[in-house]
Structure 1
Amino acid sequence: MKTMNARLSVMMFLQFFIWGGWFVTLGTFLATGLGASGGQIGLAFSTQSWGAIIAPFVIGLIADRWFNAERILAVLHLLGAVLLYQLYRAPDFAAFYPYVLAYMVAYMPTLALVNSVAFRQMQDPAREFSRIRVWGTIGWIVAGVVISMVFAWDSAQGIAGGALRNTFLMSAIASLLLGLYSFTLPATAPVQASGERQGLRQVLGLDALGLLKDRSYLIFFLASILICIPLAFYYQNANPFLAEIGVANPTAKMAIGQVSEVLFMLLLPLFIARFGIKIALLVGMLAWVLRYVLFAYGSGGEQVAMLLIGIALHGVCYDFFFVCGQIYTDAKTPERFRSSAQGLITLATYGLGMLIGFWVAGKVTDHYASAMLHDWQSIWLFPAGFAAVVLVGFCLMFRPEPPVPAAMNGREQPR
């Protein structure tokens, strides 16, 4: 079991090293390296959402039906290595955009695939998954440290010299490694026999949509979409915000969020067992409100501590909503389409919610921009207020359920 966990941990490390290796600094690179506007930056970030929307169909059509998940994972990451290299070579936004769109269509299904591979090797996912998933967070941290502290690509001098372009080359190499490594992962065969007769609904992986008939899961699904609108502001604006107000080593400082994610990832199973799913999800949403308020009133000078606390809240924001939601989804889903269900929640979070969120973030950012500066307080107060509304609505509408760990130990669906 220890050997298996180590192999899955390496998979998670590389999976998120790749993403953290270029995505955090994307907004800064596009603005300074390619001269992109706020709307164009939002367009580039929204490619993540298009990939997430397509992901459930890829997973439902292939991983749950015909081919081993680890083999699909390998092929997608090898293709991703080629596309990331093309991003490294792109001379302008017009050339950059088609490649980033193609890359995200290839990458986003892999988020559900690594979860599927990991869950299928576990007896008690509620206890075991956090210990594996935490290595993905460590991979994201290492990528940020390499960018800021090892190569200083995000320093004022590095940005001026176009060094942020190297992040795509670094990620391409990591994607190549994970693509090759994925062929060695445990066989994760389709649950449904390939010879079984299937209707169109089954072939497209739409079985997982049956989860939405459950009122509690429907409320969770809708909340996942809505809370990702403010999340898009963080992904799109946090690094340019820190760089613009003069915070040193912004990418490395953003890795503080991933350090806290490691801590809270390990605490999450205990918290769910003690307080239940609803409280965990509410704490995650509350953390988004607090974070954006801190960003709105913090600064690169005397109030820099407020910014660092806001960044450190990332562990609560991400783990207590998104990882908790992945565990909740796995517990609610029959085994025959668990991969499809993970793709469905990817659609809700990184797909629909953030597609809307990146568009809104681009519009809001451009609205409060003047010359090369931004009214960051107004920009950050918008997602703070939005997250607060989602928090109140979810608190009132989501019905308490039995603790997930107890249900999952018996592999039963929570009611």
Structure 2
Amino acid sequence: MPNSAFSSANLVLLALTYFFYFGQFGVLIPYLGVFLDGRGFSSAQIGELFALITLARILGPNLLAAIADKTGQPLRCLQIGALFTFTTFCCAFVINGFWALTISFAFMMMCWTAILPQIEVLTLNCVHANPARYSKVRLWGSIGYIVLTVFTGKMIDEFNSEAPIIIGAFVLFSLFMATLFVRQPPADPSHQMVTESIWKKIHSPIFYGFLSSAILLQISFGPYYGFFALYTRDLGYSGQMTGWLIALGVVAEVLIFLQSGKLIARVGVKWILFISMLLTALRWYLLAVLADHLAVLIFSQILHAFSFGMAHAASMHFIYHYFNKKHQGQGQAIYASIAFGIGGAVGNYGAGVIWQQGVGAELAFTLAAGFALLSAFLLLFISAKRM
């Protein structure tokens, strides 16, 4: 066990926590559609399930963050949330049917997404909000995503569509075990001295603009998160090839994370986000019209470096500096729950309605490109000096 929250050993444990947390994304997000398809769900049902469980992201992060900020115990909240995530996920082994799986996955999603703001707050405090040090810890989440995405794709090819559930249970148990050894920094005396209400920071044109842009970006991810693996399968790519394609995007994300601190300092949060969203629009349009060309598909996946990597790093930088320390957890939770919860739910539901067993794939990704463009456009109304 590390002797200090600021020790190298504790940062390694935080890196391991990111590895398993985002590794589960690599197991579940690309392949949940494949798993549900294997259990006989239609594309409309898959979209509805994704939308409903994504809505659960609104409650969980805000509830846990309020408790963590009030008690000053983000680590304890993280550990409890990780345990509940594992137990609720394991329900998929014994239940079936649309509503049974929807409810169990919704509870899992509520707990799972609730713990990410606590991981972010712990890490940012342990590295003293240094963007370069944060990126080096956070990139292990991307590595976990790569490793487990490729591995899960291979296991689907070797066995069947139930593989993501078996692998996911192991990953979530490992995540819980890793959190038991992490240490948190000592309480900051200034934490209790802050009297400014968080609502004053939330109710401002700057935050509304930032959050609205983030919602639109997440709406644009709907077809990708819900149907990319099914899309590539329909185009004739194997499960393993899909895993490698997804991993390629995350490799690009890792490389950009290593430079994100320097790029944010040089270019600024606003313009990093603006450029990232323009490139995201290009990415979705390429998937809409040219995904049957492997070279174009590879290029579109490299753009993940911006559509997620730089967009995430810049958003974390903005939130950390926008909210005071007492409200860090709640600020992170509001961003995660509203942007990913509402935006993700709308995007997933819309994609499910449009997809029509693959017939509407081109339309779905074209509309996604439009939402990404709108996301970039909104940022033009925010002063770069305020971000």
With the length of structure 2 as denominator, give the TM-score of the two structures: 0.91
Separation in 2, partners of 1:193, 1:281 = 31
Aligned length: 379
Separation in 1, partners of 2:321, 2:69 = 17
Cα offset, 1:225, TM superposition:
1.2
Measured at CA, do residues 96 and 310 of structure 1 come closer, stay the same or move farther in structure 2, by a change above 3 Å?
Answer: same
User: Which of residues 123, 126, 131 is equivalent to 2:131?
Assistant: 126
Cα offset, 1:213, TM superposition:
3.3
Measured at CA, do residues 332 and 305 of structure 1 come closer, stay the same or move farther in structure 2, by a change above 3 Å?
Answer: same
> What residue is the counterpart of 1:387 in the other structure?
372
Measured at CA, do residues 187 and 123 of structure 1 come closer, stay the same or move farther in structure 2, by a change above 3 Å?
Answer: closer
From the two aligned structures, give the one with the greater helix fraction. Answer: 2
AA in 1 matched with 2:31: T
> What residue is the counterpart of 2:32 in the other structure?
26
Separation in 1, partners of 2:193, 2:360 = 58
Separation in 1, partners of 2:322, 2:353 = 37
> What residue is the counterpart of 1:165 in the other structure?
162
Structure 1, gaps ≥5 residues long:
402-413
AA in 2 matched with 1:105: M
Q: Deviations over 1:160-195 (max 9, x none)?
A: xxx22121122212212221221211135776899x
> What residue is the counterpart of 1:399 in the other structure?
383
User: Which of residues 308, 312, 325 is equivalent to 1:318?
Assistant: 308
User: Which of residues 64, 74, 82 is equivalent to 1:77?
Assistant: 82
Separation in 1, partners of 2:48, 2:365 = 19
> What residue is the counterpart of 1:39 in the other structure?
44
1:27/1:237 contact within 8 Å kept: yes
Separation in 1, partners of 2:220, 2:213 = 12
Counterpart secondary structure, 2:162: helix
Separation in 1, partners of 2:94, 2:29 = 16
Measured at CA, do residues 375 and 365 of structure 1 come closer, stay the same or move farther in structure 2, by a change above 3 Å?
Answer: closer
> What residue is the counterpart of 1:16 in the other structure?
22
Cα offset, 1:103, TM superposition:
0.5
Cα offset, 1:264, TM superposition:
0.9
Whether 1:337 and 2:327 are equivalent positions in the alignment is yes
Query: What does residue range 125-274 of structure 1 map to in structure 2 within 5 Å?
Result: 125-149=130-154, 151=155, 153=156, 155=157, 158=159, 163-187=160-184, 207-248=197-238, 249=240, 250-274=242-266
Pairwise CA RMSD of aligned residues?
Answer: 2.4
Measured at CA, do residues 376 and 336 of structure 1 come closer, stay the same or move farther in structure 2, by a change above 3 Å?
Answer: same
> What residue is the counterpart of 1:404 in the other structure?
none
> What residue is the counterpart of 1:304 in the other structure?
294
Separation in 1, partners of 2:177, 2:291 = 44
Cα offset, 1:49, TM superposition:
2.6
> What residue is the counterpart of 2:4 in the other structure?
none
Separation in 2, partners of 1:375, 1:168 = 28
Range with greater deviation from structure 2 (341-350 or 88-97): 88-97
Identical pairs, percent: 21
Measured at CA, do residues 353 and 231 of structure 1 come closer, stay the same or move farther in structure 2, by a change above 3 Å?
Answer: same
Cα offset, 1:274, TM superposition:
1.2
> What residue is the counterpart of 2:8 in the other structure?
2
Counterpart secondary structure, 1:64: helix
2:246/2:301 contact within 8 Å kept: yes
1:69/1:189 contact within 8 Å kept: no
2:91/2:104 contact within 8 Å kept: yes
Cα offset, 1:16, TM superposition:
1.0
1:65/1:192 contact within 8 Å kept: no
Separation in 1, partners of 2:175, 2:189 = 27
Cα offset, 1:11, TM superposition:
1.2
User: Which of residues 359, 363, 370 is equivalent to 1:374?
Assistant: 359
Separation in 1, partners of 2:291, 2:66 = 48
With the length of structure 1 as denominator, give the TM-score of the two structures: 0.85
> What residue is the counterpart of 2:3 in the other structure?
none
Q: Deviations over 1:359-406 (max 9, x none)?
A: 21122213xx4xxx42422221111122223322322x12112xxxxx
Counterpart secondary structure, 1:46: helix
Q: Deviations over 1:262-283 (max 9, x none)?
A: 0111121111111111110011
Range with greater deviation from structure 2 (35-44 or 218-227): 35-44
> What residue is the counterpart of 1:108 in the other structure?
113
Measured at CA, do residues 191 and 337 of structure 1 come closer, stay the same or move farther in structure 2, by a change above 3 Å?
Answer: farther
Cα offset, 1:239, TM superposition:
1.1
Q: Deviations over 1:95-154 (max 9, x none)?
A: 3111101111111101111101111212243222111110001011111121124x3x1x
User: Which of residues 277, 285, 301 is equivalent to 2:277?
Assistant: 285
1:284/1:317 contact within 8 Å kept: yes
1:67/1:190 contact within 8 Å kept: yes
> What residue is the counterpart of 1:276 in the other structure?
268
